[in-house]
Each structure stands twice: as C-alpha cells, then as structure tokens.
Structure 1
C-alpha cells in the first residue's frame, strides 16, 4: 500500500518539476525577446510587475 503513495508522490514531484522548468524557460524567453528583439533594454526589466502593468494598460486601453 505504501508503494502506491510513493509512486503518486513521485509523479506529483515530476509534474511540479516540469512546471517549474516551464516557468524558467518562459522567463528566459521573455528576457531574450525583450532585450534582443525588443528595444534592447535591460533584460530583467521585463520581469518587473510595473512593466506588466504598463503592457496590460497599453493593450486594454486604460
């Protein structure tokens, strides 16, 4: 019975690891796209909440 719980826990940890890696690669892609393809600014500035508020306001018209 305990072997089944270990398998389920291992699967959940694997899913968590995959989601974490997806977030890391998304952040890296955003930084590369913003600094290389975009205006060439600081790559870390795309991860700031203030930048996302300005982007959302630009697209929603607020």
Structure 2
C-alpha cells in the first residue's frame, strides 16, 4: 500500500487498506485489483481519466 494508503479507489469509492491488492494502470491511476478487473471487462479505458488502454493489455 505505502503511498496509496491515503487514497481511495475511484470504482468502489473505498479507501485503500494495507492488505488490498492494487493495480496501477499505464496512466498512473491506482485501483483495487478486483474493481478495475470488473471495469475492464466492459471498458478499455481508465475509470478516472478515460485513458484508452490497448486491447492486448487488458
């Protein structure tokens, strides 16, 4: 967690906790792994900035 402990996931709006599994997208935004995986099943963009992710990276 480290520097992300004072931040929250834009998908579920919950704060990051020490034990959470996090994923950083190429644009730099960080999300809970499960939250962003669910989002990326339906979209190929960052939930925060709409950065378009290459399909092969999803």
TM-score by length of 1: 0.26
Hey, which of these two has a bigger chunk of helix by percent?
1
Larger Rg: 1
Counting strand residues as a fraction of each chain, which structure ranks higher?
2
Structure possessing the higher relative contact order (Cα contacts under 8 Å, 6 or more residues apart) = 2
